[in-house]
Every structure is written in structure tokens, then in C-alpha cells.
Structure 1
């Protein structure tokens, strides 16, 4: 059943919060380039519900690399993930620190670096001086990397404000299909080491990311969330028929708010899908095909790996299935229907208590 909604495109800078810390209703809408000032989500005026994060995922023909730098007021949660598609081995490192002192996050996207500093994880996310991309550096036990997520001239990304209420709202930027280059080293023993040996002294393996076949995706978030939330998120990037295609799909958490985070990027141009999509998948068999569809999209997602995550603390709990695989089907980009065939990405089901 079609669930088309009317969304407003914003074309001028706007503050996410008013002077009282509540949602600025003029900020509700979507953008093609980041325009929201999110400095009001600072944990000073309103504390306990602020959620701030930078999540990057990079897909290559042989590896999946992901990093997280985040602060949820009462804790900082950081992570580095590397999955080897060749043999199925996974390096999954995480660190949870009280309060947010281990996290450095810019007030608004692009205002400065994001960093994580703990005994077990170091992460640096920095914009290149000429604005042509973002450098992603990370190190943890068994892994180091330095990757550039390039930003081609004219490349557009989806920014959306999701309003649950004047006190609970989220600003997200989903930036898909960023060409990636750089290197990944598996076997380095600790943050900041020389990479000469791994855990137990084994030599490290250095993998150069193949240009034209490696893609980075950003999930940037700033907001104040309800305590419990369930969401779907799907993304994919690659080349189909000689054109660069990026999929950005979401569900559940935006339903009923008047906002969606659905879009397709074709050769750097973003096309908004202003409808709530239907997500069909088997929670008893996460590797069975998923279907995501609506009036302007009909996509099948076939997973090959289910990354299961579970964290339970006193006030924080998270349970998720992030499945990596390939998309096929079609999606509308304005008046054109785009065929999707074998596009590498992921689809997830996450249930948070935070």
C-alpha cells in the first residue's frame, strides 16, 4: 500500500534547536547538502537524552570496514569492525567508557574532527583541507587502516530531521556512494603501533583498497531520542550499467513523523523518495532474502553475512542484526526508473534501549 508523504526541501542554513533547547520547527525537512547547525545538542542545557555519533562503513570486494565514534551523554561507545569476505574471519573491537570524555565530536557536521581515544581503540575522522573528502584512520588490536572517502564535485547527501516531538527529535545525514581509497592492515597489535607484527608476533597483511570498487557510507547523527527505539536501515553503493548508484533506505523509526530517510543517489545527484517503505524479512532466518518496497522502489536484498551485536548495561542495551549482502530490483530517480543489480551493501534491524 502506498504511503506517500509530503516533505519539505530546505535550501538555507538553519539551527536544529531553539534557544530553549527544543526542536526548531523551521528545521524540519530534508536537504541535499548539510545545512543544519546542531550545536544545541551539546549535553549542557539538556542532559541524558543527547545522542551524537559518526558511523562510517566501507565496502570492498574483499573486506568490510566500519568505525563508530559516539557519545550518548552517560557513556561513550566506540567500535572498529573488519570482516574478511575471503574467509569469513572478523575483527570486532569495541570500547564503552563512562560519560563522554573519550569522544571528540564536532558541534555540526564538518566543523572539526571526530576522535575516539581509549586504551584499546583510536579513531580519527578528519575532513581534507580542500573539502574533497574525509580521512578515516583507526587502530585497535589486530588492525589499522587509513582510508579516504572522496567527495566528488557536486556530490549530494541526504540530510533529514525526524520530529517525534518538540523534545525528542533526530537529525541524520546519510552520505552514500563515496568512492574510497587507502589501505587496511591486519595483524598490527595495538593502537598506534608500527604494524610490524600482530597478536602473537605474526606478520601483518596490508590490503590496498581497489579504486573504483571500494565505497564509503556515512551515518552522522545528532538528536535527543526516546528511551526505546526500533529501526531499519539499508544502504548500498556501487556501479550499475556504468553509473554510480547509492541506495539509502530506512524504516520504523521515522514512521508517522512526516519524515523519511529514503533516497537514491545517481552519479552524485540525490533523488528523494518521499514515502514510507515496507520492509519484509524473517526474524527467524536473518540470511533469508529481505524485500523493501513501495510505490517508487521494489528491492530484494540477499545477505551473505549477519553481524549480530548485543550489549546489556544498566541503562543501555542494544541488540542488532546488520546483514551484509547484495541488492537487486529497481528504484525511481525522478522520472527515470533505475535498475539495481548486485549492489553491495547492508540491511539492519536494531532495537535500542538507551
Structure 2
């Protein structure tokens, strides 16, 4: 295992007295406690978000609730791959929320309820037989073409490893604290335009991207994630780079039956001329070798001068081999997942 994959194993405060990460590295759960009170920069620089993605046979839904200091960006996305692939994302912007959304300080407690204009979106934590249920309830009036979107989805999170990364930037007081929870079996539905999209726990999954931090102004990152059932075994992956100084650890992890298997660097080989041409993913330790066939580029480009975002979240199907810590090879084929390249100035 690379020396760059330092694992944090003790409970502690995330930040030291100067507002910097006390122990950079990765962990299997949120051992480091985040607190806004320990941050040493103005409130308008703090970024907090909870992003859920739920993937079905030929569809996906995504939800974002965020407080990014001087702007809050709330969004709902529906992607349909059943015929000619299409997607729609609808957003609601909030000016200078700066903590008003009361985003929880960890992922295991606290509900988030957002109601404004034509969007009502709730993330509710429930408990059922020692399994955490992440309940997503949404009603978006006039979501697309004058028609509403609604959903009621429950994600099952048993006791299992997650990917947590505590990453500094080279600028003092800037940090990235992030948790990815993969392999949550999904049950429920989403509805739009008379069509009902069903999610079944024996084969469908959801992922949470939970993030808190203070970023530098100009960043480009790469991120990919996916889940599937392999003969009754829950398999997932989280890969990425570009999130600050990753000298201590990367966020590249394979999940299998609730256990995280840490891997080294993964490179995204993206065609320079067209995001919808086939991609490849290759790892420095040979443990994640995948081919990716894009179906849809969920591209978005915003330019408000001070705030600029150029996003390419590409959904497609992935096939290849992942190798667990004990050398076991897991073969996956045509897993519906996504990979993205995003450049933000905000």
C-alpha cells in the first residue's frame, strides 16, 4: 500500500487551532468532527453540501442541497436512458445563505428540509432494525415543460465502510472534508410526465456525496462512482483526484460486501475532442482497470463572471476488473455509472 494512503483511525477534531486539518488522510467513517466554529475564514467562503444519486436499470435521479456561503444551489435531476437518452436539471438559487440552511455537522444525524418557491425537498434519517434509512422525499412543481416531478426513495445503510477524506489545500485555512457512502440499496419511485421510475433493493443503489470545507477559488476535479450487485454481493467504487493536496491520501476505494479496499492512483483517460467517445480508467497498482462507454454528457456551463462552472458529468456503462485486498478479482459488466470532469471558479 502506498505511503500516500494514510488511514486516520482515532476520533478527533477535524481542524487544529489555526483552522487547518489536524491529520490529513482517509478513514472508513467520520472519525474527525467538523465544526463551523473552528473555521478561520469568513462565512461566505464555507461550502457545505449533501448530494444523493440513485441509479435504476435505465434511469437516474440526483438531488443537491447546498450552502456555499455567498450562494446556495439546490437542484433536482432526472436522467432517462430507456430510449434516446435525455436529462433535465432544475435549480433554485439562494443568495448568501451563510449557514442558514443548518447543514448537519456529520452525516449520521440531522434532517434537512428545504421548502422554497416550487421545490420541497427533504432528507430524513430513520432507523429500522439497526439499519440507517436515508429517506428522500421531493416534490418539484413545474419541473420541466410545465410538469411536476416527485419521488419517495429509501436508501438502506447498514453498518459498513465508507470513504472519508480529509484533504488540505496549500493555502492556509482551506480544506476539503468529504464522505462518499456507496452501495446503499434503493427502494421507491420517482414520477414525471406520467412515467413511474421504480427502484428495487435487490439490484438498485444510491450514493451520498457529503461535503464540508473551505475551497480555493479555482479548481478542476475528476470524480467517478458506481454500484452494482454481483451475484448477491454489493460492489461499488469511488475514484477521483483534484481535490486539494492529496499527498497524505487519495479517495480511490473499492467497496465489496460492506468493506472498503483502498487502491492507489486512478487515471481518467478522457478523449480530448469528445466526452461521449469511450473512456478508460487505469490504476497505478493495476487494481482498477475499466472501459467506459458514455450514454449522455450532462454538461452545464455557467458564467457569472465571478462564479464560473464548466461541468461534464458523463453517464455510461462500465466494464472491467477490480482487485480486492486479498487478490480476489471482481468482474463487472455494463454497470450504469458516471464519471465527471468539473472546472469551477467560485
Both proteins in one fold, TM over 0.5: yes
Selected match of 1:215 from 184, 205, 208: 205
Partner of 1:200: none
Partner of 2:175: 169
Q: Is the counterpart of residue 65 in structure 1 residue 58 in structure 2?
A: no
Which secondary structure does the structure 2 equivalent of 1:129 belong to?
strand
Larger deviation, residues 160-169 vs 73-82: 160-169
Task: Give the structure with the larger strand fraction.
Answer: 2
2:282 and 2:320 mapped to 1: Cα distance? 10
Paired residues of 2:21 and 2:168 also in contact (CA < 8 A): no
Paired residues of 2:30 and 2:106 also in contact (CA < 8 A): no
Paired residues of 1:254 and 1:260 also in contact (CA < 8 A): no
1:49 and 1:146 mapped to 2: Cα distance? 33
Q: Is the counterpart of residue 311 in structure 1 residue 302 in structure 2?
A: yes
Partner of 1:196: none
Partner of 1:90: 87
Partner of 1:194: none
Which secondary structure does the structure 1 equivalent of 2:44 belong to?
coil
Which secondary structure does the structure 1 equivalent of 2:36 belong to?
coil
Residue 7 of structure 1 deviates from its aligned partner by 2.3
Paired residues of 2:59 and 2:197 also in contact (CA < 8 A): no
Cα RMSD after superposing both structures: 2.1
Can you give the 5+ residue segments of structure 1 that lack an aligned partner in the other structure?
Answer: 188-203
Residue 90 of structure 1 deviates from its aligned partner by 2.6
Can you give the 5+ residue segments of structure 2 that lack an aligned partner in the other structure?
Answer: none
1:183 and 1:206 mapped to 2: Cα distance? 7
TM-score, length-scaled by structure 2: 0.89
| 1:183-262 pair list within 5 angstroms | 183-187=189-193, 204-254=194-244, 256-262=246-252
2:164 and 2:27 mapped to 1: Cα distance? 5
Partner of 1:351: 343
Residue 290 of structure 1 deviates from its aligned partner by 1.2
Residue correspondences, number: 332
Partner of 1:201: none
Paired residues of 2:267 and 2:281 also in contact (CA < 8 A): yes
Selected match of 2:281 from 292, 296, 319: 292
1:228 and 1:330 mapped to 2: Cα distance? 34
Paired residues of 1:104 and 1:116 also in contact (CA < 8 A): no
Selected match of 2:75 from 79, 88, 97: 79
1:234 and 1:332 mapped to 2: Cα distance? 17
| 1:14-163 pair list within 5 angstroms | 14-20=12-18, 22-26=19-23, 28-40=24-36, 46-87=42-83, 88-100=85-97, 103-130=101-128, 131-140=131-140, 141=143, 142-152=148-158, 154-163=159-168
Paired residues of 1:73 and 1:99 also in contact (CA < 8 A): yes
Paired residues of 1:255 and 1:276 also in contact (CA < 8 A): no
Partner of 1:190: none
Which secondary structure does the structure 2 equivalent of 1:146 belong to?
strand
Larger deviation, residues 308-317 vs 231-240: 308-317
Q: Is the counterpart of residue 334 in structure 1 residue 325 in structure 2?
A: yes
Residue 51 of structure 1 deviates from its aligned partner by 1.0
1:123 and 1:41 mapped to 2: Cα distance? 27
Which secondary structure does the structure 2 equivalent of 1:283 belong to?
coil
Residue 205 of structure 1 deviates from its aligned partner by 3.2
1:347 and 1:68 mapped to 2: Cα distance? 17
Paired residues of 1:163 and 1:257 also in contact (CA < 8 A): no
Q: 1:310 to 1:122 in 2, by over 3 A?
A: farther
Which secondary structure does the structure 1 equivalent of 2:153 belong to?
strand
Which secondary structure does the structure 2 equivalent of 1:338 belong to?
strand
**Which deviations, in whole Å up to 9, do the C-alpha atoms of 1:121-155 show, x marking residues without a partner?**
22111211345221111221220111111013x32
Residue 102 of structure 1 deviates from its aligned partner by 6.7
TM-score, length-scaled by structure 1: 0.87
Paired residues of 2:6 and 2:248 also in contact (CA < 8 A): no
Paired residues of 1:264 and 1:331 also in contact (CA < 8 A): yes
